[in-house]
Amino acid sequence: MGTRKRKKVLLMILTIICVLIIGSGSYTYYLWHMVTSTVANIEENIDRDKSEKRLEKINFKEGDPITVLLMGIDNPAGQKRGRSDSLILLTINPHSESMHMVSIPRDTYTKIKGSWKTDKINHAYAIGGTEMTIRSVENLLDVPVDYFVKVNMKSFKEIVDTVGGVEVNNDLDFTYYSVHYPKGRLHLDGERALRYSRMRSKDPRGDFGRQIRQRQVIEAIIQKGANISSITKFGEMVKVVENNVKTNLTFDDMWEIQSNYKDARKNIEQHKIEGKSKEIKGTYYYIPDKENLRTVSNELKKHIEINNKTP
């Protein structure tokens, strides 16, 4: 999984809430109904029944593998729409009880579907919102996007603190913003997790080192959040969701995913889009390696049981 971000840390944690956590086995269906209004408030419909890359609509009861696009939105004050600061595509297969993740570098040079432009993929959201972003990701990876979860990037610290902090294995001794992060197992609260995920300047691996730390935090929240057992914590998480998330997953969709897909979190495989930076007319872009992009595309297709390979 690869991503390039200048200032913000990727936050796709509420994915787990919307897709895998809420309504975990510890809670009754009655308790699940308590959040019906919240689910209704976070729904955002897009103008299509299914992806053009799907022959048929998803059938949750049959356990069809699905894809979920996670969008971290950075929307500064005064801007109508903002930009997608981070994009991660999840493929979830209940048959193999596994999940694949690929992060799309924000500066990826690609066709912005629905416009005449070839530009950085994170500009798709500023130009045409959720739907244009989805279509551009589908075009880049040649994989259907079935669902999306859109998250306010400012909610990162709140999410980590709500689950009681996260545990990570740090492989680099460094100090960042006067906080020392020694090698080994660390427990991080929201503020420290944010900085841990953001640091790049002191890592000889540069952005790739930061990507490793970001993946660690995401996986830690997936595992920690999936084990929430307190009704109080559950309520806090619901509140965070209502204030910071939009998705086209319905109440029934989430319930089916919780019931039939939650074991996918046990096995998570990462993919990275290889490439290099290139200056074009005074602007730096991330140019994906075509062969690597084809390989990633075919791995994702295989995981969601689509047979046609990307040429």
Any residues with CB less than 8 A from the CB of 284 and at least 6 apart, and which? Answer: 107, 277, 278
Q: What is the pTM of this model?
A: 0.78
Across the chain, mean pLDDT equals 81
Q: Which string of DSSP letters, residue by residue, matches 173-232?
A: -EEETTEEE-SEEEEE-HHHHHHHHH--TT-TTTHHHHHHHHHHHHHHHHHHHTT---HH
Task: Return the higher-pLDDT residue of 91 and 308.
Answer: 91
Confidence at residue 27, expressed as pLDDT on a 0 to 100 scale: 46
Q: Which string of DSSP letters, residue by residue, matches 228-284?
A: ---HHHHHHHHHHHHHHEEES--HHHHHHHHHHTGGGGGSEEEEE--EEEEEETTEE
Q: Which domains does the chain have, with CATH numbers?
A: 14-153+234-303 (3.30.420.590)
Task: Return the higher-pLDDT residue of 84 and 168.
Answer: 168
Confidence at residue 226, expressed as pLDDT on a 0 to 100 scale: 64
Encode pLDDT of 120-129 as tens digits. Answer: 998 999 999 9
Confidence at residue 166, expressed as pLDDT on a 0 to 100 scale: 92
Residue with tokens 């029944």: 49
Encode pLDDT of 177-229 as tens digits. Answer: 999 999 999 999 999 998 898 787 898 887 678 778 877 887 788 777 666 65
- Residue 15 binned pLDDT confidence (cut-offs 50, 70, 90): very low
- Residue 12 binned pLDDT confidence (cut-offs 50, 70, 90): very low
Q: Is the pLDDT of residue 233 over 80?
A: no
Confidence at residue 65, expressed as pLDDT on a 0 to 100 scale: 96
Helix (H, G, I), strand (E, B) or coil at 110: strand
- Residue 118 binned pLDDT confidence (cut-offs 50, 70, 90): very high
Encode pLDDT of 68-97 as tens digits. Answer: 998 877 765 545 666 676 788 999 999 999
